[in-house]
Amino acid sequence: MCGIVGYIGKREAVPILIEGLKRLEYRGYDSAGIALIVDSKIALHKNVGKIVALEKLVEGQDTSSHIGIGHTRWATHGVPSIANAHPHIDCSGRIAIIHNGIIENYGSLKRQLQNSGHEFHSETDTETLAHLIEEFYRGDLEEAVRNALVEVEGTYGILVICSEEPDRIVAARRGSPLLIGVGNGEHFAASDASAILQHTRDVVYLDDNEMALLTREQFVTKNVQAEVIPKKVEKIAYDLEKIERGGYDHFMLKEICEQPQSIQDCMRGRLLPKEGTVRLGGLHEHLDQLLNTRRIILTACGTSWHASLIGEYILEDFLRIPVEVEYASEFRYRNPVIDEGTVVVVVSQSGETADTLAALRETKKRRAPVIGICNVVGSSIARETVAGVYLHVGPEIGVASTKAFTAQVTVLTLIALLLARKKWMSQEEGQRIIAELEKIPQKIEKILTLNKSILELAKAYKDARNFLYLGRGYNFPVALEGALKLKEISYIHAEGYPAAEMKHGPIALIDENMPVVFIAIRDSSYEKILSNIEEVKARGGRVIAVVNEGDEKILSTVDHAIPIPETLEFLSPLLTIVPLQLLAYHIAILRGCNVDQPRNLAKSVTVE
């Protein structure tokens, strides 16, 4: 999704902006651009495609400037093109703006502006804002931006510069993340800390309806009424090299292989093996409320939604209360019943997904308690929920989520365990679960040693045009997630189903060209899964199965087996997903796909 970076200071702006934009590439984008102030004029450079193309474009041009803004665009209004790429400028060419989010009333604003003589050069909603600011400009950019924003409905994170005020950047936020980086005689602005982390770790997060004025020497944060609001400078804890690929060919592979460590990080300091329970600081003050909950709704999008489905199974199993899982995009619009005693849990890696954030706000409007489970510290969801649990797995850069998924499942398991122990579960039972949780990282380590054989499997199946993934119980959501991983990054059509549902439709598709991936571990539905495998084999289907080590019986039935260690049934998704992530990764690589930035997808979907 779109990315923002801005710089004002004593150094050349262009290398800082280009570097920052490169760091934002992982979010997914289709075009990019920068605006500088050179010789008291706005200099605009935009290109379609990758940042390197933009970098080439500016080479050899006069770009000496100490102030600039840069943007990666992921098209929402208008096709990816140079005209639609940001920054956008006003008629006079004095004002340049970059914008994340959507101006919902841009149609009516645009008509009014056109009627008063403004000429538009793009199909974007953002350009409207450039002209609107121009309309209000009387020599004070900050004031003009403030007046323009009063007219705007929708969401924005913006940076604005004006050639007549070459010593300032104006920033504003509503519904789209924006932070300021504080340097020595220089300031940065970005939608995401990774864009500026190589320069400073001191950041200030803007909240909704806040503006900031950046100069070389200082920054001032204000609310919409222009009142100064002092904000805390926070230190970013994670390291830049953590964001780098660390020797792996791709971020996705790195993140898959990191899972033994990331799950450990997620559990660190939270397990109480002796007491057979867990400590979750972020929920501590709300424990009573949680214990009295009569119904839980989990809401999320994409992979986080799949993790939530596993959460549903475990929470219901452990707490014996109804648990529902809702797509956030549906939940927010369908007037859901949120009665007293209902707790809503929003699950999101980025903490910025527009639909999930809207579901959270909808819940808050109805005065129901909302708990957040997210990874990005300081994200909107983290800040707008009263209680929550961080994943603590470090930045996830690959667009296809992997380590965040296993951490989400881990956190949901820890919540279920904490509440069950308070309610009914014996200390002994709790101890048994904790002991098993502690073994998960080393079991994943063992699965990762299968990487080569999974690559061979990928070679055999890389040309398939469709895949079916089947699982039951706790591993039905794993089937969905396995299929999602494959389709996201390899562009092979893949569907996940509960194995028994196959008979109600997908079985019609089965022949030798339709590989079927089963999660067939020795759990409570093992015998039933074996029958489903037979049904596929009887129709000439080819079967790849994730099985338990030492399961000789299944080997004669399936075409390929991926043996993994055993664990408790409700923890099995933490293991069974790993070979499916690797399978998707290798197939995508063999097909020449860009796994870290798959086409049309974005890491953080901040539009609905």
Q: What residue ranges bind ligand G6P (CB under 6 A)?
A: 301-304, 348-350, 353, 356, 399-401, 601, 603-605
Task: Map tokens 């262009």 to a residue.
Answer: 14
Helical ranges in 295-402 per DSSP H: 302-319, 328-331, 354-365, 380-384
**CB within 8 A of 41, min separation 6: which ones?**
93, 163
Tell the smallest beta-carbon distance from residue 592 to ligand G6P (Å).
20
Tell the smallest beta-carbon distance from residue 347 to ligand G6P (Å).
7
**CB within 8 A of 241, min separation 6: which ones?**
none
For ligand G6P, the closer of residues 129 and 407 by Cβ is 407
For ligand G6P, the closer of residues 214 and 397 by Cβ is 397
Tell the smallest beta-carbon distance from residue 404 to ligand G6P (Å).
6
Cα angle vertex 78, ends 75, 82, to 5°?
80
| C-alpha R_g of the chain | 26
Residue least distant from ligand G6P (Cβ): 302
- Alpha carbon 89 to chain centroid distance? 30
Nearest to 433 by CA among 250, 584, 267, 220: 267
For ligand G6P, the closer of residues 500 and 601 by Cβ is 601
Phi-psi region of 222 (alpha: psi -120 to 50; beta: other; left: phi over 0): beta
Contact 181/5 with Cβ under 8 angstroms?
Answer: no
For ligand G6P, the closer of residues 271 and 391 by Cβ is 391
Contact 164/139 with Cβ under 8 angstroms?
Answer: yes
Residue type, 516: V
Residue type, 307: A
For ligand G6P, the closer of residues 54 and 195 by Cβ is 195
Contact 564/448 with Cβ under 8 angstroms?
Answer: no
Tell the smallest beta-carbon distance from residue 351 to ligand G6P (Å).
7
Tell the smallest beta-carbon distance from residue 382 to ligand G6P (Å).
12
Catalytic residue among 46, 110, 485, 603: 603
Nearest to 607 by CA among 407, 392, 357: 357
For ligand G6P, the closer of residues 348 and 410 by Cβ is 348
For ligand G6P, the closer of residues 157 and 430 by Cβ is 157
Encode burial over 319-345: b for 16+ CB neighbours within 10 A, e otherwise. beeebbbbbbbebbeeebebeeebbbb
Alpha-carbon gap, residue 547 to 560, rounded angstroms: 10
Catalytic residue among 2, 257, 266, 593: 2
The DSSP line for 457-486 is HHHHHTT-SEEEEEE-GGGHHHHHHHHHHH
In the 8-state DSSP scheme, what is residue 209? T
For ligand G6P, the closer of residues 475 and 604 by Cβ is 604
Tell the smallest beta-carbon distance from residue 571 to ligand G6P (Å).
21
Cβ neighbours, 10 Å, residue 367: 8
For ligand G6P, the closer of residues 31 and 304 by Cβ is 304
Nearest to 181 by CA among 193, 173, 171: 193
Task: Map tokens 């900050």 to a residue.
Answer: 142
**CB within 8 A of 421, min separation 6: which ones?**
276, 277, 278, 427, 430
For ligand G6P, the closer of residues 524 and 600 by Cβ is 600
Encode burial over 143-152: b for 16+ CB neighbours within 10 A, e otherwise. ebbbbbbebb
In the 8-state DSSP scheme, what is residue 286? G
Alpha-carbon gap, residue 378 to 344, rounded angstroms: 20
User: Any bridge partners for residue 4, and if so which?
Assistant: 71
Contact 591/462 with Cβ under 8 angstroms?
Answer: yes
Tell the smallest beta-carbon distance from residue 4 to ligand G6P (Å).
18
Tell the smallest beta-carbon distance from residue 146 to ligand G6P (Å).
31
φ, ψ for residue 266 (rounded to 5)? Answer: -65, -35
Q: Is 374 an active-site residue?
A: no
Encode burial over 79-88: b for 16+ CB neighbours within 10 A, e otherwise. eebebbbbbb
Task: Map tokens 């199946």 to a residue.
Answer: 461
Tell the smallest beta-carbon distance from residue 174 to ligand G6P (Å).
19
For ligand G6P, the closer of residues 199 and 603 by Cβ is 603
Q: Is 257 an active-site residue?
A: no
Cα angle vertex 388, ends 387, 394, to 5°?
145
Tell the smallest beta-carbon distance from residue 604 to ligand G6P (Å).
6
In the 8-state DSSP scheme, what is residue 175? B
**Maximum Cα interatomic distance, the chain, rounded to a whole number of Å:** 80
Catalytic residues: 2, 603
